[in-house]
Amino acid sequence: MDDLAVGGISARRSAAAPAEDFPYWLVALAAVALAAAIAIAADDIYRQIFATVVKGTWITIYVTLAGFFLSALLGLCIALMSLSSSIWLRQASRFYVEICRGVPFLVLLFWIAFAGVPAFVALWNGATASLREAGLLGELQVRDVSFLWRAIIALTIGYAAFIAEVFRAGIQSVDKGQIEAAKALGLTGWQRFRLVVFPQAIRTILPPLGNDFVTMVKDSSFVSVLGVADITQLGKVYSAGTFRFFETYSIVAYIYLLLTISLSLMLRTLERRMRRQNRR
């Protein structure tokens, strides 16, 4: 009888559980965004600043997409190394992760742009000296590597360390019994990863991976210190020439908010769809 009573109370509590909160915060944000858009359209100065700064949006998006794609590939490789049976691969992956996570991103950006790339060019020219003498290759110059790609390389190397930990945690969350069952079925290591491990791990990986993507959109503003013409750099140049710092950086913040909040909403929608599919 007591068990029935407890069960009835639990059922009533589940039935009375509140539904998902209405997104009042989203309504408030939409109202603020609309009011800001109207203010920009109604003011000649704000309209001019917006037209100037928004040109850097495509550079910001390009840097973010290229950096995230490459860092995700590198991060996955590092995560697989950390789970390898080879102690040398595990130690190498841990060394990489700890070094990259321990260096501030701005310092890493400067080091790659002004030290790492010149060092790589010198090593490349030394390794390909015989090919250059034979006329098969030309000499690589430091100036041949644009600051745009130096920034993307820095984002790739820096974020790969964090993304590797996300992949590692997601892969380790998969039940080992399923991996053993896949082995019993005769699946190879690649087949086990592609058909069994990764489809389940992605459910755990996706939320933090999405957070890293949104964070990279914001951290892409660091590339402005190299003179890359992204949103922040164009805002910096405009404000320095007109001394309209309040108006310019308000527009810069507004554009970044539009980008990051839109991405966050899309990621939340994707997560909800995946949760519904898991319940079926």
- The beta-carbon contacts of 84-91 under 8 Å, at least 24 apart in sequence, are none
Report the alpha-carbon distance of residue 53 to residue 45 in Å, rounded.
12
Given a cut of 70, the residues of the chain with pLDDT beneath it are: 1-20, 277-280
The CATH class of 24-279 is: mainly alpha
DSSP state letters, 232-268: HHHHHHHHHHH--HHHHHHHHHHHHHHHHHHHHHHHH
Q: For residue 85, give the 3-state DSSP assignment.
A: coil
Cα distances (angstroms) measured from residue 114 to each of 64, 109, 141, 143: 21, 9, 13, 11
Report the alpha-carbon distance of residue 233 to residue 147 in Å, rounded.
13
pLDDT at 280 (0 to 100): 62
pLDDT at 4 (0 to 100): 46
Let me know the angle formed at the C-alpha of 202 by 199 and 206, rounded to the nearest 5 degrees. 155
Residues across the chain:
280
Report the alpha-carbon distance of residue 246 to residue 15 in Å, rounded.
51
| 188 residue type, one letter | T
pLDDT at 19 (0 to 100): 54
Q: Residues of 63-86 as b/e, b for ≥16 C-beta within 10 angstroms? A: bbebbbebbbebbbebbbbbeeee
| 191 residue type, one letter | Q
pLDDT at 143 (0 to 100): 87
Q: pLDDT for 51-63, tens place per residue?
A: 999 999 999 999 9
| pTM recorded for the entire structure | 0.83
Question: What DSSP character marks residue 243?
Answer: -
Q: pLDDT for 110-150, tens place per residue?
A: 999 999 999 999 898 888 888 778 777 788 888 888 999 99
Report the alpha-carbon distance of residue 66 to residue 68 in Å, rounded.
6
